[in-house]
């Protein structure tokens, strides 16, 4: 990560949208907005790999 202010998630295999720092981390990691991250998690669940695959297949 380029930004040292962003904390890493406790479990890198799952996305916890309840934590602000995790939303910021994952949004930056995937290069999407927090809203787009929420939509992806709502669609495919909290698996980071499933979200990554979804975002790759559904680029805007």
According to DSSP, the residues that pair with 14 across neighbouring strands are 47
- Tokens 């904390």 -> residue: 7
Please provide the DSSP assignment of 2-56 as one string. Answer: --TTSPPPSSTTB--TTSHHHHHHHHHHHTS-HHHHHHHHHHH-SBHHHHHHHHH
Residue 51 lies in a domain: yes
Domain residue limits at 44: 20-57
Indicate if the pLDDT at residue 1 is higher than 50.
no
Cβ atoms < 10 Å from Cβ of 11: 11
pLDDT, tens only, 23-52: 999 999 999 999 999 999 999 999 999 999
- How does pLDDT run across 4-27, given as a tens digit for each residue? 565 788 889 999 999 999 999 999
Q: Would residue 37 count as lying in a domain?
A: yes
Unique residue bearing structure tokens 């680029």: 59
Asked if residue 4 is part of any domain, the answer here is no
| Within-domain flag for 6 | no
Q: Could you tell me the two tokens for 3?
A: 């930004």
């Amino acid at each position: 990560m380029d930004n040292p202010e962003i904390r890493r998630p406790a479990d890198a295999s799952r996305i916890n949208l309840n934590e602000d720092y995790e939303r910021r981390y994952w949004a930056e990691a995937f290069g999407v907005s927090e809203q787009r991250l929420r939509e992806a998690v709502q669609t495919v669940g909290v698996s980071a790999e499933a979200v990554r695959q979804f975002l790759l297949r559904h680029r805007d």
